[in-house]
Structure 1
């Protein structure tokens, strides 16, 4: 092959190859996209109108006093109903202010409730009205609780602590940031540490005891009701039902008393002899208790100092009911001076 033939063939192939396409002309009307994010227009915040300042009433220094006091003798399942109304005890709070009946005095407080049918919003409703009893005394009026009911044949007088109750100092709101040991306590309240949540672990009889509790008070300067009483409560275990009655050994003649029970079909004929002996035994027990009570009072008077005697003579009982408000029932017609069978009547009802 001659030189140059290959070169000529390559030249011819190059001439036969298609020419590259021309570059497109730039479109001057096309918008160029920017890589920068678009700028948002700033939103102008509307100015809020200035709100009126809120005012809250200051808590009163003794505002929660009545709620801290245990309402002795109230059924556990009724406690929520007691606190269901917004009761106002400002009269109790004011009593500790200058000019009040409790101002500057050492005071012991316990609570109670009184079920009453009262008018409220057009209806008569049964409510548990709370009341607070204040005892002005330089020392605790008692460290005992009485347990008594119609169903319980025997009255018990036991230490408060057996029922998890005790007198404890009340600390006013303004002093709760202070050290307790530096405070001079003048208000003591009856408190109970029994938790409601733990009631399910107690026996029924133990729970019922709380419902029959009464703050106990004994004044050796006065003859006790027990010393004067000539009545005995009789609960005779007869069949088909027990016999409930009261027998007065000074006013009732026993045989006539029994005959009347048989006539009224409260006692069967074949049980009359057993019933007679039962009543005689109860009378003997009651007379013995009367003698022991008189002897205990005589001994207490002999051992009493003159200072203690004067303090007991100067003790005062005040009973506070809630103040009438539009949110609470009208209780003005059911207020009573009677406290309980141990304390008797209050010197003043407020």
Structure 2
């Protein structure tokens, strides 16, 4: 699988990145740890060498599982992307959401928090450096400049190779870029959620900042498997997500039915077609895609075994113009 450079950094990642949110278990209706590790190993075997995780995914569990996979695969064969900025051990920062055990989670990116978080992540991951370290969400209580100065220090120490952001505005990225060389930003982006095309994509293209598109399958909605009678189990957060409510669910499925023949002609799944489209979009460096088992990992890897033609892309984009989705999420 082709690798792409993130901004001006020396970090190169696979165009499909293993998204490790779901394997953390929490907010996704549970997870099987053994299957998760096998999914990571299978992804690596098929060319997906980059893994994106975060401490808040399962409150440390996702990073720990990634660490076990790293130990089996070999650190030098992988690019590890993780994040910081969610604090559930103190009340510093801005309140975000409850923890799974009734506690509270805050957005906090102060220097003291970063220095502790990086050590915790390195320990869970079983490594002495992180390829891309990303601030997970904005922290209204800490100036972005303070955060970036701390990251610059970690970079100089060799604990992180490159610096990224996630879920931040263009203005925040500009301020960060005055302190550090910003390698990438991570943003939600899919066929039915393209808000970043208005400002983030043009900015990143002009400034040579990589874009990591997360939720390219809109958390499973664009696989075609979320039928009108599909029911979510346990603590699956998608049950309350507007994309999965009506009329958005039906509108999306109607669109998928229109492009389904294109997938069938190529003998690929709808999900593979969607991921391929995503990676070919202007400014997009890579797509983050999750997998809970080897089968899903294999399917993800096949997404780049073909290349959509200009004609096919045109047809897809034409149909997309007819999809009206409520973006107030």
Q: Which has the higher helix share?
A: 2
Tell me which interval the TM-score lies in, with the shorter structure as reference length. Answer: under 0.3
TM-score (norm 1): 0.23
Structure with higher Rg: it is 1
